[in-house]
Structure 1
Amino acid sequence: MNHMQVFLTYSDIALASGLIIIVLLISWQLRLKLTSTLLMAAVRTIVQLSFIGLILAWIFAREQWYEVLLILTIMTLIAGSAAKNRVKRSYKGLLTDTLIAVGTSATLVTAIAMIVILRVQPWYTPQFIIPILGLILGNSLTAISLTSNQLIETFHEQQGRIEMMLSLSARPFEAVHEQIRAAITNGMTPTLNSMLVVGIVSLPGMMTGQILAGADPTQAVRYQIVTMFLICVSSTLGCTISALLIYRRFFNKNQQFTLPR
């Protein structure tokens, strides 16, 4: 059985871009006031992906470890900054905390994927490590930002309750354990929901892209299973690290509950 491959041209991209007009019409008709945001998002999508496509093509052709490492570092820094920017209540040191949470979880899980599961040689092969890290970072930063946002908000809103529990001889972690548990659960919800319906309600982007590119569907499925588990582990680690770092920010050396600047 022959598998047809479809190669997209710039005219195909232009036709797909024209579909945005439907969204703009809906926004205008319902007065959603999203026109400028939609246009900006569409333009940035084209520009950013075209730019990264050129960079990746150059890196894939050279395969130099230091260039790959530079790209991975930049991706991680941007992800950490994006996670921090999604938190409504900021404090001094939040960027550092989100960078540690994102960087530690994504680096650890990506290393396991490259060395233990895929056994890619060399480990810095850009064709594998860049898209895998990108998938992990994109999902981890969402989970971490959800956890951080809820936990910080809860600490501010429930300051009196936490201080009351401390006054009743509760240990610091005991006083905020319920809030930490709820925040981590909230951060993990999108990932868990995605895992529950994958293959039944939705076909993930990575799997769909491989199939459209002519890959064997069974191999595409295996890659998707691996990436889903990697995302789940990375998100869990990231949420946990983020919650613990925030917890430490809200207690001083004397184990007293304080609101950071």
Structure 2
Amino acid sequence: MPLIPLHYTDLALAALLLLVNGGLSVRLSLGLERSLAIAAVRMVVQLSLVGLVLKQLFALESPWLTLAAALVMVLFAGQEAMARQERRLVGWWAYGLGTGAMGFAALVVMMLALTTAIQPDPWWDARYAIPLLGMVLGNAMSGVSLSLNTLTAGAVRERAAIEAQLALGRTLWVALRPVLRHALRTGLMPTINGMAATGLVALPGMMTGQILSGVDPAEAVKYQILIMFLIAGATGLGVLIATLAAARRLSDARQRLRLDRLALRE
């Protein structure tokens, strides 16, 4: 079955649903209509530009351009992860820690996927590398931002209990253990819930797109299972690295809790 093309009038009709949401926001005094409009316009512009960039990227088949595109995606993911944190580490740590964790996790997972499971020719083919990286990074970004936000908020909230443990001779890692566990669980929970609901509750976007384009459903399922495993692996690795590194930054050589290294988001 060939892919059914969409026209701009089809997109305009679908956009009417946003007007309904905006009307409800106004009627119920939610104050979300402006944010909804900005988000919708931003999405359309970003996707349109990405479509043009990817078209050129696929045509040029350059490993350096593919690498540059991947680097830009990681840097923007780091910015988004930092923006979602209520309390941030001061200095370059606020941006560099989450970005580095996501970049390393994505590199490990993508190299594994492209050189073993998928094996495109060449292995860095942008048609495979960039879409896969986008799905992996998007989920890793959510996990890292949630875990870091939970860790910093928990450290501030439980400051008295943590310092009481330190006064009793506990190391900071022991005193922080409940907060660390909560942060790790929070960062991983969306991925776990996503895997549990996939198939019965939701058909993921990649699988749905492949089926709509005429791919055999059984083959689409195999690709989706692979993607979910890659997402889970990258998110788990990124969350673990980011959370442990942030916890280390909140301490010093004298085993003190250093909340002075945190700043509220302006």
Q: Under a length normalisation based on structure 1, what TM-score does the superposition of the two structures give?
A: 0.96
Partner of 1:173: 173
Pairs within 5 Å for 1:20-169: 20-92=18-90, 93-169=93-169
Q: Secondary structure at the match of 1:90?
A: strand
Matched, 1:221 2:224: no
Match of residue 244 from structure 1: 244
1:8 alignment partner, one of 6, 26, 31: 6
What is the percentage of aligned positions where both structures have the same residue?
37
Tell me, in whole angstroms, the C-alpha distance in 2 between the residues paired with 1:145 and 1:10: 35
- For residues 128-160 of structure 1, what are the alpha-carbon distances to aligned partners after superposition, in whole Å with 9 as ceiling and x for unaligned? 000100001100000101100010011111122
In 1, Cα distance between equivalents of 2:175 and 2:199: 41
SS at match of 2:89: coil
Deviation per residue, 1:94-148 (Å, 9 max, x gap): 2111111111111111111111221222121011000100001100000101100
Greater displacement, 105-114 / 8-17: 8-17
Secondary structure, aligned partner of 1:41: helix
- How far apart, in 1, do the equivalents of 2:3 and 2:116 lie? 32
Rounded to whole Å, the distance in 1 between the matches of 2:19 and 2:95 is 37
* Partner Cα separation in structure 1 for residue 223 and residue 178 of structure 2: 36
Amino acid at match of 1:56: L
CA distance in structure 1 between the partners assigned to 2:89 and 2:144 by the alignment: 16
Segment drifting more, 111-120 vs 184-193: 111-120
**Partners of 1:70 and 1:5 in 2: how far apart?**
31
When the two structures are aligned, how many residues end up with a matched partner?
259
Choose 167-176 or 219-228, whichever is displaced more.
167-176
Whole-angstrom distance in 1 between the partners of 2:3 and 2:79: 38
Letter in 1 for 2:30: L
| CA distance in structure 2 between the aligned counterparts of 1:99 and 1:206, rounded to whole angstroms | 25
Amino acid at match of 1:146: L
Q: Residue 214 of structure 1 aligns to a residue in which SS?
A: coil
Take 1:28 and 1:163, find their aligned partners in 2: how far apart are those partners? 47
Deviations 1:42-100 (CA, angstroms, capped at 9, x unpaired): 11111110000000000001110111110000000000111011000112112111111
SS at match of 1:163: helix
What is the CA distance between 1:26 and its match in structure 2? 1.6
Q: Cα offset for 1:171?
A: 2.0
What code does the residue aligned with 1:54 have?
L
Matches of 1:80 and 1:45 in 2, distance apart?
18
Q: Give the Cα–Cα distance (whole angstroms) in 2 for the partners of residues 120 and 171 of structure 1.
A: 49
Gaps of 5+ in 2: none
Distance 1:244 1:179 in 2: 11
Runs (4 or more) in structure 1 with deviation over 6 Å come to: none
Separation in 1 of the partners of 2:71 and 2:127?
A: 16
Structure-1 separation of matches of 2:78 and 2:109: 16
State the shift of 1:4 in Å: 4.3
**Unaligned ranges ≥5, structure 1:** none
Residue type of the partner of 2:201?
Answer: V
Asked if 1:255 corresponds to 2:233, the answer is no
2-structure distance, mates of 1:175, 1:120: 48
**Aligned partner of 2:189: which letter?**
T
RMSD between aligned residues: 1.2
Aligned counterparts of 1:243 and 1:153: Cα–Cα separation in 2? 12
